[in-house]
């Protein structure tokens, strides 16, 4: 596991609820991932955590048996003593205009509540 915090956006083809569940199970089983966002309509998955981007893409590829394409990688390397992010965490996928049924968020950071509120207000 690396010491740097990465946020990565992937493209994974999901055309049915079964595909969505397979991708979700694979993401939840990877210990290095701290947060994730799945956009079923746009076939995008955003993940954040302390990991190597290439290794996570390979793990997801092996677990789902689907092609995984890395669209964007952001590196955040400012942490405080509790390993919490000090600056704003920005992922373009969080600012999407999707229906609530098609977006699943799983957030554990305390510092990104502003982005969560913006996402919730854009959905409603």
**Averaged pLDDT, 5-12:** 94
Alpha-carbon torsion angle 61, 15, 39, 58, nearest 10? 0
> What is the token pair recorded at 12?
């994974």
In 10 A of CB 52, how many CB atoms?
14
Average pLDDT score over residue span 62-80:
85
Residue with tokens 């957030």: 107
User: What is d(CA 46, CA 50) in angstroms, rounded to the nearest whole number?
Assistant: 14
- pLDDT tens digits along 14-46: 999 999 999 999 999 999 999 999 999 999 999
Instruction: Look at the pTM and tell me if it is higher than 0.85.
Output: no
């Amino acid at each position: 596991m690396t010491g740097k915090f990465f946020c990565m956006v992937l493209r994974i083809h999901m055309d049915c609820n079964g595909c969505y569940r397979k991708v979700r199970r694979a993401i939840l089983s990877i210990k290095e991932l701290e947060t994730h966002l799945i956009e079923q309509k746009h076939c995008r998955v955003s993940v954040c955590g302390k990991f190597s981007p290439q290794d996570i893409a390979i793990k997801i590829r092996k677990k789902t048996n689907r092609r995984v394409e890395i669209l964007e990688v952001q590196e955040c390397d400012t942490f405080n003593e509790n390993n919490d992010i000090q600056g704003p965490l920005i992922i373009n996928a969080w600012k999407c205009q999707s229906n609530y049924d098609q977006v699943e968020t799983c957030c554990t950071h305390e510092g990104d509540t502003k982005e969560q509120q913006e996402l919730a207000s854009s959905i409603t």
